[in-house]
Amino acid sequence: MKRIKKFKTVEELRKAIEQQETSRQQEKRKVIVVSSGTCGQARGSLKVIEALKRAIREAGLKDKVTLRITGCHGFCEAEPNIIIYPDRIFYQKLTPADVRTIVKETLVEGRVVEKFLHRDPLTKERAWYENEIPFYQKQKRIVLGDNVFVDPTNLLDYLAIGGFRPFIKALTRMKPEEIVQTVKQSGLRGRGGAGFPTGVKWEATRRSPGDIKYIICNGDEGDPGAYMDRSVLEGNPFRVIEGMLIGALAIGAREGYIYVRDEYPLAVRHVTLALDQLYKAGLLGEKILGTDFSFDLHIAKGAGAFVCGEETALIASIEGRVGEPRQRPPFPAQKGLWGKPTCINNVETWANIPLIILNGADWFASIGTSGSKGTKIFSLVGKINNTGLVEVPMGITLREIIYDIGGGIPEGKAFKAVQTGGPSGGCLPASLLDLTIDYESLTAAGSIMGSGGMIVMDEKTCMVDVALYFLNFLRDESCGKCISCREGTQRMWEIVKDISEGKGKPGDLELLEELAIATKEASMCGLGQTAANPVLSTLRYFRDEFEAHIYEKRCPAGVCKSLIRYAVIPEKCTGCEACKRACPTGAIQGTRKDVHLILYDKCIKCGACLEACRFEAIEAQREEAIAIVKEVKP
């Protein structure tokens, strides 16, 4: 790590950027880029990195090959993955053992090793280069793409990709009002969930009276299934901070906070490192680059509360109090942190700012639809082949994301629903696959854009179980102040739980809907107001599934424990005893080569047998006992 020297003038910074850029462009060495965010590390990227370092050294290539360790590239399914420049050869799912082969055959002998190449799950074709991979082809990675080029722990790397040019432009060639107008004209809307026009928020904060103003980066990415903010903070924290510096100039703020979830230790580390380097470089603190502009930026850690993603709750958390939202108006733009005008924006929103300043409002507005400009990063997870972060222009369809980019559903199963917007969002069925993605269309369909989580579900996902899952999440994360939210989510959960256990009664769905509407109408903050969405959307599109649970005591997807039992399919059973070994209660009978039998009095429905069987010989069948009881009773 080179020592960071302080930039005392704009000229010094400009020179340094040029120097780094040139040095990068004239790079004669081969560069191996390794994707190593939190997921990458969990999949073993650190060991691969060690193996690479060793192998490069042993092959005598230390002066000919540069190793660049970056954050998440976004193609999580392929990790640990590397890209070898200048050819951009993409190798995926690597283990330390593979490294030797790569160094020998590709680096030394110049050959591509086919078994490490990405193979498309649908076409089965191999791709050599990053831009041949279908996963990337329909994406427009203006924000996330730079993760590939930057070592997030090195400020100089960020300069090498032109980092801080936007800041210099904003600082020296634009008036604060101009910056605000540019952001307004770009059409950028908040990427955290509500989609409020960013420029309007900035303008309101700027126009609020007072000398002391704050800006905050909302990194409390609490939506389960969404992790794009984590990726940006881990992989390119300098971009986010540069956005905040520009925002501070525009709004007139002298102090700011980056609020990061406690559950993201690597992001906290990288942000802390970035702040440290920027202070040393003189790009944060007093009289930045010799001008009158001073800006202090602190990191604040969350402590495990989803509701703290709500603006006023987040402010309360920074002030050291419980994360209870408060009534708005007054809005944070008028009265926020410690009563001062405060502008809170999401991580992805801040990350877009430098690009808008550099390339202009028109450039940004040329991407996307008329009401939703720019790109959005979605986390495509769940029952999908190509799990990962996808950045696409607004206006793309769900079908394109799930099939063209996502590679469809694994194991040949059928698509059932895609859940967007987290616990404030809803489930969209197959009939809406051609929906074009923008803020308004998602809301009209009963969901929301949210922070961009996109959880794909297949025929084996029970929608009653999904509704139950979200209600359980919400009743625990609700701050508990408003009775409509606290009791509303609790009582909705009770009703859906009964339905999932076969105790549903006629009238339950009507009561559920009535309660959902009351929760939505009467709650004070966004959490309560959107808490009903998961229930209302699943009822809207999958009512028949709820009715099957209530009237037939049947779970069509085979998930709800009380309504199913596991049984061996005799024709498929090979007698391998794998399920018997996996069973924790000894509930499976049978010897080798004999069809096995599950004993219901011992079976606790843990699902271990289903998981262990490689022949799909175990399935979840309808619980006959309940069916018989129902048929006997008139």
Partner 1 sequence: MITMKMNGLEVKAEEGWTVLETAKFYGLEIPTLCHHEGLTPYGACRLCLVEIGEGPKAKLVSSCTYPAEEGLVVHTDTKRVIEARRMMIELMLSVAPYSKTIQDLASKFGVTRMRFKIRNEECILCGLCVRMCAEQMDGKAIGFQNRGFQRKISTPFDIRSEECRLCGGCIYICPACQLRCQGPQAETAICNACLTMDPTCLDYYDELQCWMYDAGRCGTCVREKK
Partner 2 sequence: MSVHQIINLDSLQEIVERHGYNKNKLIAILQDVQAVYHYLPAEALKTLSKLLKIPLIDIISVATFYRAFSLTPKGRHTATVCMGTACHVRGAPKILEEFERQLQIKRGQTSEDGEWSLESVACLGCCAIGPVVVVDGDYHAHTSIRKVPTILSKYRK
* Interacting residues with partner 2 (CB under 8 A): 38-39, 41-43, 76-77, 79, 221-227, 230, 261-265, 300-306, 317-323, 379, 381-383, 387-388, 419, 422, 453, 455, 457, 461, 466, 469-470, 473, 476-477, 479, 582, 584, 606-608, 611-612
Q: What is the per-residue binding string for partner 1 in 279-308, x denoting contact by CB under 8 A?
A: --------------------------x-x-
Among the listed ranges 15-23, 376-384, 457-465, 488-496, the one in contact with partner 1 (CB under 8 A) is 488-496
| CA 395 to the chain's CA centroid | 19
Q: Find where tokens 């799909």 sit.
A: 616
Considering CB under 8 A, how many residues would be counted as binding partner 1? 35
CB within 8 Å of 392: residues ≥ 6 apart:
138, 139, 140, 375, 376, 378, 400, 401, 405, 437
Residue-by-residue DSSP string for 79-127: -S-EEEETTTEEE-S--HHHHHHIIIIIIIT----GGGBEE-TTT--EE
Distance in Å, CB of 304 to partner 1, minimum? 10
Among 197, 252, 410, 480, the residue binding partner 1 under the rule CB under 8 A is: 480
Residue 208 near partner 1 by CB under 8 A = no
State whether the Cα torsion 514-517-518-519 is positive or negative.
positive
Among 478, 530, 533, 538, binds partner 1 (CB under 8 A): 478
Determine which residue in the list 104, 254, 413, 491 makes contact with partner 1, applying CB under 8 A: 491
Closer of 4 and 576 to partner 2 (Cβ): 576
Question: What does 483 bind: partner 1, partner 2, none (CB cut-off 5 to 8 Å by kind)?
Answer: partner 1
- Which span (23-31, 50-58, 60-68, 319-327) binds partner 1, by CB under 8 A? 319-327
The answer to whether the beta carbons of residues 142 and 218 sit under 8 Å apart is no
Q: Rule CB under 8 A: is residue 475 a binding residue for partner 1? A: yes
Residues 6+ apart with CB under 8 A from 541: 417, 427, 428, 429, 431, 446
Contact 22, 296 (CB under 8 A): no
Of 7 and 257, which CB lies nearer to partner 2 in the complex structure? 257
* Residue 478 binds which entry of partner 1, partner 2, none, CB below 5-8 Å type-dependent: partner 1
CA distance linking residue 431 with residue 597, whole number of Å: 40
Shorter beta-carbon distance to partner 1: residue 379 or 489: 489
If binding is defined by CB under 8 A, does position 489 make contact with partner 1?
A: yes
Asked if 547 touches partner 1 (CB under 8 A), the answer is: no
- Residue 484 within binding range of partner 1, rule CB under 8 A: yes
Rounded Cα gap, residues 86 and 101, in angstroms: 19
> Least distance (Å) from partner 1 to the CB of residue 307?
8
Query: Nearer Cβ to partner 2, position 133 or 318?
Result: 318
Contact residue for partner 1 among 27, 514, 544, 594 (CB under 8 A): 514
The sheet carrying 255-260 orders its strands as 296-301, 255-260, 214-219, 342-346
CB of 486 to partner 1, least distance (A): 6
Could you say which residues in the range 494-513 bind partner 1, by CB under 8 A? 494, 511
N-terminal to C-terminal alpha carbon distance within the chain? 78
Cβ atoms of 524 and 482 within 8 Å: the answer is yes
User: SS3 string of 485-523?
Assistant: HHHHHHHHHHHHHHHHCCCCCCCHHHHHHHHHHHHHHHC
Taking CB under 8 A as the criterion, the residue among 311, 438, 458, 477 binding partner 1 is 477
Give me the least distance between CB of 144 and partner 1, in Å please. Answer: 34
Quick one: 88 or 326, whose CB is closer to partner 1?
326
- Nearest approach in angstroms of CB 356 to partner 1 is 29
Are 428 and 435 in contact by the 8 Å Cβ rule? The answer is yes
- Report the distance separating Cα 358 and Cα 232, nearest Å: 19
376 binds partner 1 (CB under 8 A): no
Tokens of 149: 């080029």
222 binds, among partner 2, partner 1, none (CB under 5 to 8 A by kind): partner 2
Specify the residue for token string 């972060």.
Answer: 389
How far apart CA 554 and CA 122 sit, in angstroms, is: 33
- Please confirm whether the linkage preceding 152 is cis (ω < 30° from 0): no
**Considering CB distances under 5 to 8 angstroms, the limit depending on partner class, which of partner 2, partner 1, none binds residue 175?**
none
Q: Does 490 bind partner 1 (CB under 8 A)?
A: yes
Q: Which of 337, 402, 515, 578 binds partner 1 (CB under 8 A)?
A: 515
Torsions phi, psi for 619 (to 5 deg): -140, 165
Residue type, 562: S
**Is 430 near partner 1 (CB under 8 A)?**
no
CA dihedral 65, 81, 375, 204 (to 10 degrees): -80
Between 509 and 579, CB nearer to partner 2: 579
Q: Which is nearer to partner 1, 322 or 414 (CB)?
A: 322
Give the position of tokens 């308004």. Answer: 440
Q: How far apart, in Å, are the Cα atoms of 295 and each of 174, 242, 244, 596?
A: 18, 11, 10, 70
Q: Which of 325, 519, 542 is nearest to 418 (CA)?
A: 542
CB of 523 to partner 1, least distance (A): 8
Per CB under 8 A, the segment of 93-101, 170-178, 339-347, 475-483 that binds partner 1 is 475-483
Q: In whole angstroms, give the CA distance from residue 335 to residue 327.
A: 11
| Nearest residue to 249 via CA among 196, 277, 218, 289 | 289
Q: How far is the CB of 531 from partner 1 (least distance, A)?
A: 11
Q: 233, 227 in Cβ contact below 8 A?
A: no
Which residues contact partner 1 (rule: CB under 8 A)?
A: 305, 307, 322, 326-327, 329-330, 474-484, 486-491, 493-494, 511, 514-515, 517-518, 521-524
